[in-house]
Structure 1
Protein backbone atom coordinates (compact mmCIF):
# COMPACT_ATOMS: atom_id res chain seq x y z
CA UNK A 1 0.00 0.00 0.00
CA UNK A 2 1.88 3.09 -1.21
CA UNK A 3 -0.71 5.89 -0.93
CA UNK A 4 -1.49 7.41 2.43
CA UNK A 5 -4.80 6.22 3.79
CA UNK A 6 -7.03 8.83 5.38
CA UNK A 7 -9.00 7.19 8.18
CA UNK A 8 -11.70 9.06 10.06
CA UNK A 9 -13.27 7.45 13.09
CA UNK A 10 -16.72 8.91 13.76
CA UNK A 11 -17.91 8.43 17.29
CA UNK A 12 -19.65 10.28 20.10
CA UNK A 13 -22.84 10.39 22.08
CA UNK A 14 -25.86 8.45 20.87
CA UNK A 15 -28.21 10.93 19.22
CA UNK A 16 -25.49 13.49 18.52
CA UNK A 17 -25.53 13.07 14.73
CA UNK A 18 -23.34 10.12 13.72
CA UNK A 19 -25.75 9.09 10.94
CA UNK A 20 -25.67 12.57 9.38
CA UNK A 21 -21.88 12.57 9.66
CA UNK A 22 -21.57 9.21 7.91
CA UNK A 23 -23.81 10.36 5.06
CA UNK A 24 -21.66 13.48 4.70
CA UNK A 25 -18.48 11.43 4.43
CA UNK A 26 -20.14 9.18 1.83
CA UNK A 27 -20.81 12.28 -0.26
CA UNK A 28 -17.14 13.22 0.15
CA UNK A 29 -16.15 9.92 -1.44
CA UNK A 30 -15.20 8.02 1.72
CA UNK A 31 -15.73 4.28 2.03
CA UNK A 32 -18.00 4.18 5.09
CA UNK A 33 -18.58 1.34 7.54
CA UNK A 34 -21.18 1.63 10.28
CA UNK A 35 -20.52 -0.13 13.60
CA UNK A 36 -18.32 -2.94 12.39
CA UNK A 37 -17.86 -5.60 15.12
CA UNK A 38 -14.39 -5.25 16.66
CA UNK A 39 -13.52 -8.87 15.89
CA UNK A 40 -13.76 -8.09 12.15
CA UNK A 41 -11.61 -4.97 12.21
CA UNK A 42 -8.19 -6.70 11.86
CA UNK A 43 -9.37 -8.68 8.82
CA UNK A 44 -10.99 -5.60 7.31
CA UNK A 45 -7.77 -3.67 7.77
CA UNK A 46 -5.72 -6.37 6.06
CA UNK A 47 -8.09 -6.36 3.07
CA UNK A 48 -7.81 -2.58 2.79
CA UNK A 49 -4.01 -2.70 2.80
CA UNK A 50 -3.89 -5.52 0.28
CA UNK A 51 -6.23 -3.82 -2.18
CA UNK A 52 -4.35 -0.53 -2.22
CA UNK A 53 -7.39 1.03 -3.91
CA UNK A 54 -9.18 2.57 -0.93
CA UNK A 55 -7.59 5.80 0.24
CA UNK A 56 -10.39 7.30 2.35
CA UNK A 57 -12.31 5.39 5.00
CA UNK A 58 -14.78 6.56 7.62
CA UNK A 59 -15.64 4.16 10.44
CA UNK A 60 -18.66 4.87 12.60
CA UNK A 61 -17.74 3.35 15.94
CA UNK A 62 -20.11 2.54 18.78
CA UNK A 63 -18.04 2.73 21.95
CA UNK A 64 -20.75 2.06 24.48
CA UNK A 65 -19.49 -1.43 25.23
CA UNK A 66 -16.31 -1.54 27.33
CA UNK A 67 -14.96 -4.49 25.30
CA UNK A 68 -15.59 -2.61 22.06
CA UNK A 69 -14.04 0.52 23.48
CA UNK A 70 -10.80 -1.13 24.57
CA UNK A 71 -10.42 -2.82 21.17
CA UNK A 72 -10.80 0.42 19.25
CA UNK A 73 -8.36 2.31 21.46
CA UNK A 74 -5.76 -0.40 20.86
CA UNK A 75 -6.39 -0.39 17.11
CA UNK A 76 -6.04 3.38 16.82
CA UNK A 77 -2.82 3.34 18.81
CA UNK A 78 -1.36 0.85 16.37
CA UNK A 79 -2.45 2.80 13.31
CA UNK A 80 -0.93 6.03 14.56
CA UNK A 81 2.46 4.34 14.55
CA UNK A 82 2.43 3.61 10.79
CA UNK A 83 3.57 5.92 8.00
CA UNK A 84 0.74 4.93 5.67
CA UNK A 85 -2.24 5.99 7.76
CA UNK A 86 -3.47 9.41 8.81
CA UNK A 87 -6.04 8.92 11.55
CA UNK A 88 -8.49 11.50 12.83
CA UNK A 89 -11.18 10.99 15.42
CA UNK A 90 -14.35 13.02 15.01
CA UNK A 91 -16.32 13.12 18.26
CA UNK A 92 -19.93 14.31 18.13
CA UNK A 93 -21.40 15.64 21.33
CA UNK A 94 -24.53 17.43 22.48
CA UNK A 95 -25.92 18.74 25.74
CA UNK A 96 -27.89 16.43 27.99
CA UNK A 97 -30.98 18.56 27.44
CA UNK A 98 -30.69 18.33 23.65
CA UNK A 99 -30.08 14.58 23.71
CA UNK A 100 -33.15 14.07 25.88
CA UNK A 101 -35.19 16.22 23.50
CA UNK A 102 -34.02 14.20 20.47
CA UNK A 103 -34.81 10.88 22.13
CA UNK A 104 -38.24 12.12 23.15
CA UNK A 105 -38.89 13.33 19.60
CA UNK A 106 -37.92 10.02 18.00
CA UNK A 107 -39.45 7.95 20.83
CA UNK A 108 -36.38 5.75 20.90
CA UNK A 109 -34.88 4.32 24.06
CA UNK A 110 -31.26 4.95 24.92
CA UNK A 111 -29.19 1.77 24.35
CA UNK A 112 -27.72 2.01 27.85
CA UNK A 113 -31.04 2.74 29.54
CA UNK A 114 -33.46 0.24 28.08
CA UNK A 115 -34.77 -0.67 31.53
CA UNK A 116 -33.98 2.55 33.31
CA UNK A 117 -34.07 6.35 33.13
CA UNK A 118 -32.91 8.07 29.95
CA UNK A 119 -30.59 10.40 31.89
CA UNK A 120 -28.91 7.41 33.56
CA UNK A 121 -28.03 6.03 30.12
CA UNK A 122 -26.68 9.38 28.91
CA UNK A 123 -24.51 9.81 32.02
CA UNK A 124 -23.17 6.26 31.74
CA UNK A 125 -22.31 6.79 28.08
CA UNK A 126 -20.49 10.07 28.86
CA UNK A 127 -18.37 8.26 31.39
CA UNK A 128 -17.48 5.48 28.94
CA UNK A 129 -16.56 7.96 26.21
CA UNK A 130 -14.37 10.31 28.28
CA UNK A 131 -11.05 8.88 27.13
CA UNK A 132 -11.87 8.73 23.43
CA UNK A 133 -13.27 12.28 23.58
CA UNK A 134 -9.98 13.50 25.06
CA UNK A 135 -8.06 11.79 22.24
CA UNK A 136 -10.23 13.23 19.47
CA UNK A 137 -8.73 15.70 17.03
CA UNK A 138 -12.12 17.26 16.37
CA UNK A 139 -15.03 17.62 18.79
CA UNK A 140 -18.28 19.03 17.42
CA UNK A 141 -21.14 20.01 19.70
CA UNK A 142 -24.30 19.59 17.64
CA UNK A 143 -26.71 21.00 20.23
CA UNK A 144 -27.37 24.11 18.15
CA UNK A 145 -26.62 22.64 14.72
CA UNK A 146 -29.16 21.51 12.15
CA UNK A 147 -28.28 18.44 10.04
CA UNK A 148 -27.41 20.76 7.16
CA UNK A 149 -25.10 22.86 9.34
CA UNK A 150 -23.32 19.75 10.63
CA UNK A 151 -22.85 18.59 7.06
CA UNK A 152 -21.42 21.98 6.06
CA UNK A 153 -18.97 21.92 8.97
CA UNK A 154 -17.73 18.45 8.00
CA UNK A 155 -17.35 19.53 4.38
CA UNK A 156 -15.30 22.58 5.37
CA UNK A 157 -12.84 20.46 7.34
CA UNK A 158 -12.61 17.29 5.25
CA UNK A 159 -13.35 18.32 1.66
CA UNK A 160 -10.30 18.03 -0.58
CA UNK A 161 -9.59 18.82 -4.21
CA UNK A 162 -10.23 15.21 -5.27
CA UNK A 163 -13.74 15.12 -3.85
CA UNK A 164 -16.56 14.80 -6.38
CA UNK A 165 -17.61 18.31 -7.41
CA UNK A 166 -21.14 19.54 -7.91
CA UNK A 167 -22.46 18.43 -11.29
CA UNK A 168 -25.66 18.62 -13.30
CA UNK A 169 -27.49 15.79 -15.05
CA UNK A 170 -29.67 16.89 -17.96
CA UNK A 171 -32.10 14.33 -19.32
CA UNK A 172 -34.67 14.27 -22.10
CA UNK A 173 -37.61 11.88 -21.78
CA UNK A 174 -41.05 11.06 -23.12
CA UNK A 175 -44.09 11.41 -20.89
CA UNK A 176 -45.65 8.37 -22.58
CA UNK A 177 -42.90 6.25 -21.02
CA UNK A 178 -43.30 7.69 -17.52
CA UNK A 179 -41.70 10.39 -15.41
CA UNK A 180 -38.04 9.93 -14.36
CA UNK A 181 -38.32 9.30 -10.62
CA UNK A 182 -34.82 10.62 -9.86
CA UNK A 183 -35.38 14.09 -11.38
CA UNK A 184 -35.05 17.17 -9.16
CA UNK A 185 -36.55 19.53 -11.76
CA UNK A 186 -39.04 18.49 -14.48
CA UNK A 187 -39.99 20.75 -17.39
CA UNK A 188 -42.86 19.92 -19.76
CA UNK A 189 -42.29 21.17 -23.34
CA UNK A 190 -45.31 19.52 -24.95
CA UNK A 191 -46.76 22.98 -25.63
CA UNK A 192 -44.14 23.59 -28.35
CA UNK A 193 -44.82 22.72 -32.04
CA UNK A 194 -44.19 19.02 -32.56
CA UNK A 195 -41.86 17.97 -35.44
CA UNK A 196 -43.40 14.49 -35.33
CA UNK A 197 -46.29 15.79 -37.41
CA UNK A 198 -43.97 17.12 -40.11
CA UNK A 199 -43.60 14.24 -42.58
CA UNK A 200 -39.89 14.62 -43.34
CA UNK A 201 -39.01 14.79 -39.62
CA UNK A 202 -41.11 11.92 -38.33
CA UNK A 203 -38.38 9.28 -38.48
CA UNK A 204 -35.64 11.63 -37.22
CA UNK A 205 -34.76 12.90 -33.77
CA UNK A 206 -33.59 16.26 -32.55
CA UNK A 207 -29.91 15.37 -32.73
CA UNK A 208 -30.47 15.56 -36.48
CA UNK A 209 -29.83 19.15 -37.59
CA UNK A 210 -33.03 19.72 -39.64
CA UNK A 211 -35.21 18.72 -36.70
CA UNK A 212 -33.16 20.68 -34.20
CA UNK A 213 -33.34 23.77 -36.38
CA UNK A 214 -37.11 23.39 -36.76
CA UNK A 215 -37.62 23.23 -32.98
CA UNK A 216 -35.23 26.05 -32.13
CA UNK A 217 -36.51 28.41 -34.82
CA UNK A 218 -39.98 28.50 -33.26
CA UNK A 219 -40.54 31.85 -31.46
CA UNK A 220 -42.18 30.06 -28.52
CA UNK A 221 -39.13 27.84 -28.12
CA UNK A 222 -36.64 30.68 -27.90
CA UNK A 223 -38.77 32.65 -25.46
CA UNK A 224 -39.23 29.62 -23.22
CA UNK A 225 -35.58 28.64 -23.42
CA UNK A 226 -34.30 32.07 -22.38
CA UNK A 227 -36.64 32.12 -19.39
CA UNK A 228 -35.68 28.55 -18.43
CA UNK A 229 -31.92 29.16 -18.55
CA UNK A 230 -32.28 32.39 -16.57
CA UNK A 231 -34.22 30.52 -13.89
CA UNK A 232 -31.80 27.59 -13.69
CA UNK A 233 -28.69 29.74 -13.58
CA UNK A 234 -30.19 31.78 -10.75
CA UNK A 235 -31.03 28.75 -8.57
CA UNK A 236 -27.94 26.57 -9.07
CA UNK A 237 -25.91 28.52 -6.45
CA UNK A 238 -28.69 27.73 -3.97
CA UNK A 239 -28.27 23.99 -4.54
CA UNK A 240 -24.54 24.37 -3.98
CA UNK A 241 -25.12 26.29 -0.75
CA UNK A 242 -27.45 23.56 0.51
CA UNK A 243 -24.70 20.98 0.02
CA UNK A 244 -26.20 19.18 -2.97
CA UNK A 245 -23.63 17.23 -4.97
CA UNK A 246 -25.78 16.92 -8.08
CA UNK A 247 -29.01 18.15 -9.65
CA UNK A 248 -30.99 16.26 -12.29
CA UNK A 249 -32.98 18.37 -14.75
CA UNK A 250 -35.47 16.41 -16.87
CA UNK A 251 -37.11 17.89 -19.96
CA UNK A 252 -40.05 15.96 -21.34
CA UNK A 253 -42.16 15.92 -24.48
CA UNK A 254 -44.65 13.32 -25.64
CA UNK A 255 -42.32 10.63 -26.94
CA UNK A 256 -38.88 11.90 -25.96
CA UNK A 257 -37.77 12.05 -29.61
CA UNK A 258 -37.76 15.64 -30.76
CA UNK A 259 -38.54 18.71 -28.64
CA UNK A 260 -37.14 17.45 -25.35
CA UNK A 261 -33.97 16.16 -27.03
CA UNK A 262 -33.21 19.49 -28.71
CA UNK A 263 -33.78 21.54 -25.58
CA UNK A 264 -31.91 19.13 -23.29
CA UNK A 265 -28.89 19.12 -25.58
CA UNK A 266 -28.79 22.91 -25.87
CA UNK A 267 -29.30 23.33 -22.13
CA UNK A 268 -26.48 20.90 -21.34
CA UNK A 269 -24.13 22.79 -23.67
CA UNK A 270 -24.97 26.14 -22.06
CA UNK A 271 -24.77 24.95 -18.43
CA UNK A 272 -21.44 23.24 -19.17
CA UNK A 273 -19.85 26.69 -19.34
CA UNK A 274 -20.14 26.96 -15.55
CA UNK A 275 -20.65 23.38 -14.25
CA UNK A 276 -19.74 19.79 -15.09
CA UNK A 277 -22.71 18.45 -17.05
CA UNK A 278 -23.78 15.02 -18.30
CA UNK A 279 -26.63 14.67 -20.78
CA UNK A 280 -28.71 11.59 -21.54
CA UNK A 281 -31.66 11.06 -23.88
CA UNK A 282 -33.61 8.36 -22.11
CA UNK A 283 -36.28 7.60 -24.69
CA UNK A 284 -34.79 8.89 -27.94
CA UNK A 285 -34.37 5.39 -29.44
CA UNK A 286 -37.53 3.83 -28.06
CA UNK A 287 -39.69 4.35 -31.16
CA UNK A 288 -36.97 2.98 -33.44
CA UNK A 289 -36.51 -0.09 -31.22
CA UNK A 290 -40.28 -0.65 -31.22
CA UNK A 291 -40.40 -0.55 -35.02
CA UNK A 292 -37.49 -2.99 -35.31
CA UNK A 293 -39.15 -5.47 -32.96
CA UNK A 294 -42.35 -5.41 -34.98
Structure 2
Protein backbone atom coordinates (compact mmCIF):
# COMPACT_ATOMS: atom_id res chain seq x y z
CA UNK A 1 0.00 0.00 0.00
CA UNK A 2 1.26 3.48 -0.84
CA UNK A 3 0.45 6.90 0.57
CA UNK A 4 -0.64 8.24 -2.79
CA UNK A 5 2.17 10.26 -4.33
CA UNK A 6 0.83 12.94 -6.65
CA UNK A 7 2.65 14.37 -9.65
CA UNK A 8 2.52 17.88 -11.09
CA UNK A 9 0.54 19.26 -8.21
CA UNK A 10 -0.05 23.01 -8.12
CA UNK A 11 2.36 25.01 -5.94
CA UNK A 12 1.35 25.62 -2.35
CA UNK A 13 0.22 28.99 -1.02
CA UNK A 14 0.74 29.00 2.74
CA UNK A 15 -0.66 31.74 4.95
CA UNK A 16 1.51 31.91 8.08
CA UNK A 17 -0.47 33.65 10.78
CA UNK A 18 -1.46 33.38 14.42
CA UNK A 19 -0.22 34.92 17.65
CA UNK A 20 2.44 37.61 17.55
CA UNK A 21 5.59 36.24 19.15
CA UNK A 22 4.77 32.62 18.29
CA UNK A 23 7.57 32.32 15.71
CA UNK A 24 6.31 33.69 12.40
CA UNK A 25 9.68 35.18 11.39
CA UNK A 26 11.47 31.92 12.18
CA UNK A 27 8.93 29.99 10.11
CA UNK A 28 9.29 32.28 7.10
CA UNK A 29 13.10 32.20 7.31
CA UNK A 30 13.05 28.40 7.44
CA UNK A 31 10.68 28.13 4.48
CA UNK A 32 12.86 30.55 2.48
CA UNK A 33 15.86 28.31 3.20
CA UNK A 34 13.82 25.42 1.77
CA UNK A 35 13.30 27.26 -1.50
CA UNK A 36 9.93 28.87 -0.89
CA UNK A 37 9.15 32.43 -1.98
CA UNK A 38 8.25 34.30 1.22
CA UNK A 39 7.04 37.72 2.26
CA UNK A 40 6.05 39.10 5.65
CA UNK A 41 3.31 41.61 6.48
CA UNK A 42 2.02 41.71 2.91
CA UNK A 43 -1.02 43.99 2.54
CA UNK A 44 -3.98 41.79 1.69
CA UNK A 45 -4.73 43.84 -1.45
CA UNK A 46 -1.39 42.69 -2.92
CA UNK A 47 -1.84 38.96 -2.35
CA UNK A 48 -2.91 38.05 -5.90
CA UNK A 49 -0.18 40.20 -7.45
CA UNK A 50 2.56 38.72 -5.25
CA UNK A 51 1.53 35.14 -6.01
CA UNK A 52 1.21 35.47 -9.77
CA UNK A 53 2.83 38.80 -10.64
CA UNK A 54 1.46 41.48 -12.95
CA UNK A 55 1.65 39.14 -15.97
CA UNK A 56 -0.22 36.37 -14.10
CA UNK A 57 2.47 33.83 -14.97
CA UNK A 58 2.12 30.30 -13.69
CA UNK A 59 4.18 30.07 -10.54
CA UNK A 60 6.46 27.08 -9.91
CA UNK A 61 7.80 27.77 -6.40
CA UNK A 62 5.74 27.40 -3.25
CA UNK A 63 4.70 30.68 -1.62
CA UNK A 64 4.49 31.55 2.09
CA UNK A 65 2.85 34.81 3.15
CA UNK A 66 3.06 36.09 6.71
CA UNK A 67 0.07 38.11 7.90
CA UNK A 68 -1.00 39.15 11.37
CA UNK A 69 -2.48 42.10 13.23
CA UNK A 70 0.27 44.40 11.88
CA UNK A 71 -0.56 43.68 8.22
CA UNK A 72 -2.49 46.34 6.32
CA UNK A 73 -6.04 45.23 5.61
CA UNK A 74 -5.79 42.26 8.01
CA UNK A 75 -9.29 40.76 8.29
CA UNK A 76 -9.31 37.32 9.94
CA UNK A 77 -12.90 36.67 8.85
CA UNK A 78 -12.22 37.36 5.17
CA UNK A 79 -8.71 35.90 4.81
CA UNK A 80 -9.67 32.23 4.24
CA UNK A 81 -11.94 33.17 1.33
CA UNK A 82 -9.30 35.52 -0.08
CA UNK A 83 -6.74 32.73 0.04
CA UNK A 84 -9.07 30.35 -1.81
CA UNK A 85 -9.69 32.96 -4.51
CA UNK A 86 -6.07 32.81 -5.71
CA UNK A 87 -6.02 30.57 -8.83
CA UNK A 88 -3.59 27.77 -9.67
CA UNK A 89 -2.28 27.22 -6.14
CA UNK A 90 -3.10 24.98 -3.19
CA UNK A 91 -4.09 27.32 -0.34
CA UNK A 92 -3.28 26.38 3.25
CA UNK A 93 -3.32 28.18 6.60
CA UNK A 94 -0.68 27.57 9.28
CA UNK A 95 -1.69 29.10 12.61
CA UNK A 96 1.15 29.59 15.09
CA UNK A 97 0.29 29.58 18.77
CA UNK A 98 1.92 29.46 22.20
CA UNK A 99 0.69 29.71 25.76
CA UNK A 100 0.03 33.16 27.17
CA UNK A 101 2.78 32.72 29.76
CA UNK A 102 5.32 31.81 27.08
CA UNK A 103 4.34 34.75 24.87
CA UNK A 104 4.66 37.12 27.85
CA UNK A 105 8.10 35.65 28.60
CA UNK A 106 9.23 36.16 24.99
CA UNK A 107 8.03 39.77 24.94
CA UNK A 108 9.82 40.33 28.24
CA UNK A 109 13.07 38.98 26.82
CA UNK A 110 12.95 41.07 23.64
CA UNK A 111 11.50 44.16 25.37
CA UNK A 112 9.24 44.69 22.38
CA UNK A 113 5.70 46.02 22.68
CA UNK A 114 2.79 43.88 21.59
CA UNK A 115 1.26 45.34 18.38
CA UNK A 116 -2.21 45.42 19.97
CA UNK A 117 -1.07 46.85 23.30
CA UNK A 118 1.22 49.79 22.57
CA UNK A 119 0.46 51.44 25.93
CA UNK A 120 -0.77 48.41 27.87
CA UNK A 121 0.78 45.25 29.34
CA UNK A 122 1.58 42.51 26.82
CA UNK A 123 -1.08 40.21 28.29
CA UNK A 124 -3.80 42.67 27.25
CA UNK A 125 -2.61 42.58 23.64
CA UNK A 126 -2.34 38.78 23.73
CA UNK A 127 -5.95 38.46 24.91
CA UNK A 128 -7.16 40.85 22.21
CA UNK A 129 -5.22 39.02 19.52
CA UNK A 130 -6.65 35.63 20.56
CA UNK A 131 -10.16 37.01 20.14
CA UNK A 132 -9.28 38.73 16.87
CA UNK A 133 -7.74 35.65 15.26
CA UNK A 134 -10.12 33.00 16.62
CA UNK A 135 -11.79 32.55 13.21
CA UNK A 136 -8.41 31.99 11.53
CA UNK A 137 -7.48 29.37 14.10
CA UNK A 138 -10.70 27.50 13.39
CA UNK A 139 -10.12 27.71 9.62
CA UNK A 140 -6.45 26.67 9.82
CA UNK A 141 -5.25 23.50 8.10
CA UNK A 142 -2.64 23.13 10.85
CA UNK A 143 -2.15 24.68 14.29
CA UNK A 144 1.46 24.57 15.47
CA UNK A 145 2.06 25.30 19.14
CA UNK A 146 5.63 26.54 19.57
CA UNK A 147 5.60 26.78 23.37
CA UNK A 148 8.04 23.90 23.86
CA UNK A 149 9.97 24.31 20.61
CA UNK A 150 13.37 25.96 20.48
CA UNK A 151 14.11 27.72 17.14
CA UNK A 152 16.17 24.72 15.96
CA UNK A 153 13.33 22.33 16.91
CA UNK A 154 10.84 24.54 15.10
CA UNK A 155 12.96 24.45 11.95
CA UNK A 156 13.15 20.65 12.17
CA UNK A 157 9.37 20.49 12.53
CA UNK A 158 8.94 22.69 9.46
CA UNK A 159 11.35 20.57 7.41
CA UNK A 160 9.26 17.53 8.28
CA UNK A 161 6.05 19.27 7.29
CA UNK A 162 7.07 21.39 4.33
CA UNK A 163 10.51 20.26 3.12
CA UNK A 164 9.04 17.34 1.23
CA UNK A 165 7.53 19.46 -1.56
CA UNK A 166 4.14 18.29 -0.37
CA UNK A 167 4.06 15.37 -2.85
CA UNK A 168 3.70 12.72 -0.19
CA UNK A 169 1.98 12.55 3.17
CA UNK A 170 4.48 13.40 5.90
CA UNK A 171 3.88 11.18 8.94
CA UNK A 172 5.68 11.90 12.22
CA UNK A 173 5.50 9.51 15.16
CA UNK A 174 6.35 11.16 18.49
CA UNK A 175 6.95 9.83 21.99
CA UNK A 176 6.43 12.06 25.02
CA UNK A 177 5.78 12.07 28.76
CA UNK A 178 2.45 13.28 30.12
CA UNK A 179 4.19 14.45 33.29
CA UNK A 180 6.06 17.02 31.21
CA UNK A 181 3.00 18.14 29.26
CA UNK A 182 1.05 16.65 26.39
CA UNK A 183 2.53 16.76 22.89
CA UNK A 184 1.53 20.06 21.28
CA UNK A 185 2.34 19.06 17.70
CA UNK A 186 0.27 15.87 17.42
CA UNK A 187 -3.01 15.36 15.58
CA UNK A 188 -3.58 12.00 17.29
CA UNK A 189 -2.55 11.08 20.84
CA UNK A 190 -2.39 7.55 22.29
CA UNK A 191 -1.93 6.87 26.03
CA UNK A 192 0.34 3.96 27.10
CA UNK A 193 -0.14 4.45 30.84
CA UNK A 194 -2.44 1.41 31.06
CA UNK A 195 0.71 -0.73 30.90
CA UNK A 196 2.99 -1.45 33.91
CA UNK A 197 5.68 1.20 34.20
CA UNK A 198 9.23 -0.09 33.49
CA UNK A 199 10.59 2.81 35.54
CA UNK A 200 9.80 0.84 38.69
CA UNK A 201 11.83 -2.18 37.53
CA UNK A 202 15.33 -1.52 38.87
CA UNK A 203 17.26 -2.99 35.95
CA UNK A 204 15.07 -1.17 33.40
CA UNK A 205 15.01 2.27 35.01
CA UNK A 206 18.26 3.57 33.44
CA UNK A 207 17.32 2.14 30.03
CA UNK A 208 14.79 3.48 27.51
CA UNK A 209 12.19 2.07 25.15
CA UNK A 210 14.86 2.02 22.45
CA UNK A 211 16.67 -0.73 24.38
CA UNK A 212 15.70 -4.36 23.80
CA UNK A 213 15.06 -5.26 27.48
CA UNK A 214 12.44 -2.51 27.80
CA UNK A 215 10.87 -3.32 24.43
CA UNK A 216 10.69 -6.99 25.45
CA UNK A 217 9.17 -6.07 28.82
CA UNK A 218 6.29 -4.05 27.36
CA UNK A 219 5.74 -6.51 24.51
CA UNK A 220 4.65 -9.28 26.91
CA UNK A 221 2.26 -7.12 28.95
CA UNK A 222 -1.45 -7.80 28.77
CA UNK A 223 -3.09 -5.48 26.24
CA UNK A 224 0.07 -4.44 24.37
CA UNK A 225 -0.43 -6.62 21.29
CA UNK A 226 -4.11 -5.75 20.91
CA UNK A 227 -3.42 -2.05 21.44
CA UNK A 228 -0.72 -2.03 18.77
CA UNK A 229 -2.82 -4.04 16.31
CA UNK A 230 -5.85 -1.79 16.70
CA UNK A 231 -3.81 1.40 16.57
CA UNK A 232 -2.03 0.23 13.43
CA UNK A 233 -5.35 -0.53 11.75
CA UNK A 234 -6.71 2.88 12.77
CA UNK A 235 -3.69 4.73 11.36
CA UNK A 236 -3.73 2.66 8.18
CA UNK A 237 -7.37 3.64 7.75
CA UNK A 238 -6.94 7.34 8.58
CA UNK A 239 -3.67 8.33 6.91
CA UNK A 240 -4.73 7.84 3.25
CA UNK A 241 -7.99 9.65 3.98
CA UNK A 242 -6.16 12.60 5.52
CA UNK A 243 -4.05 12.76 2.36
CA UNK A 244 -7.04 12.63 0.03
CA UNK A 245 -8.72 15.41 2.02
CA UNK A 246 -5.73 17.65 1.29
CA UNK A 247 -3.77 17.25 4.54
CA UNK A 248 -0.04 16.94 3.91
CA UNK A 249 1.20 16.35 7.48
CA UNK A 250 -0.08 14.06 10.24
CA UNK A 251 1.49 13.66 13.66
CA UNK A 252 0.68 10.71 15.91
CA UNK A 253 2.02 10.84 19.48
CA UNK A 254 2.43 8.05 22.02
CA UNK A 255 2.58 9.12 25.64
CA UNK A 256 3.53 7.49 28.92
CA UNK A 257 4.38 9.01 32.30
CA UNK A 258 7.96 10.15 31.80
CA UNK A 259 8.34 9.73 28.05
CA UNK A 260 11.34 7.39 28.24
CA UNK A 261 10.05 3.80 28.25
CA UNK A 262 6.57 2.72 27.09
CA UNK A 263 5.95 5.60 24.71
CA UNK A 264 9.38 5.26 23.10
CA UNK A 265 8.92 1.52 22.56
CA UNK A 266 5.46 2.11 21.08
CA UNK A 267 6.64 4.88 18.74
CA UNK A 268 9.50 2.76 17.40
CA UNK A 269 7.30 -0.30 16.96
CA UNK A 270 4.49 1.65 15.27
CA UNK A 271 6.88 3.38 12.88
CA UNK A 272 8.18 -0.02 11.81
CA UNK A 273 4.64 -1.33 11.30
CA UNK A 274 3.75 1.69 9.16
CA UNK A 275 6.87 1.20 7.03
CA UNK A 276 5.62 -2.29 6.22
CA UNK A 277 2.35 -0.63 5.17
CA UNK A 278 4.13 1.59 2.64
CA UNK A 279 4.43 4.81 4.69
CA UNK A 280 7.70 6.60 5.49
CA UNK A 281 7.26 7.91 9.03
CA UNK A 282 9.68 10.16 10.88
CA UNK A 283 10.30 9.49 14.58
CA UNK A 284 10.77 12.15 17.24
CA UNK A 285 11.38 11.35 20.93
CA UNK A 286 10.61 14.51 22.86
CA UNK A 287 11.68 13.47 26.36
CA UNK A 288 14.04 10.58 25.70
CA UNK A 289 17.21 12.47 26.66
CA UNK A 290 15.90 13.57 30.07
CA UNK A 291 17.06 11.89 33.28
CA UNK A 292 14.87 9.36 35.11
CA UNK A 293 12.88 11.15 37.81
CA UNK A 294 11.26 9.16 40.64
CA UNK A 295 9.19 12.07 41.98
CA UNK A 296 7.82 12.86 38.54
CA UNK A 297 6.86 9.24 37.87
CA UNK A 298 5.44 8.80 41.37
CA UNK A 299 3.41 12.00 41.08
CA UNK A 300 1.73 10.80 37.90
CA UNK A 301 1.09 7.33 39.34
CA UNK A 302 -0.46 8.90 42.46
CA UNK A 303 -2.74 11.07 40.32
CA UNK A 304 -3.95 7.96 38.49
CA UNK A 305 -4.71 6.29 41.83
CA UNK A 306 -6.75 9.27 42.99
CA UNK A 307 -8.82 9.25 39.78
CA UNK A 308 -9.84 5.62 40.24
CA UNK A 309 -13.30 5.06 41.76
CA UNK A 310 -13.15 4.31 45.48
CA UNK A 311 -14.53 0.95 46.56
TM-score, structure 1 normalization? 0.50
More helix per residue: 1
Higher Cα Rg, which structure: 1
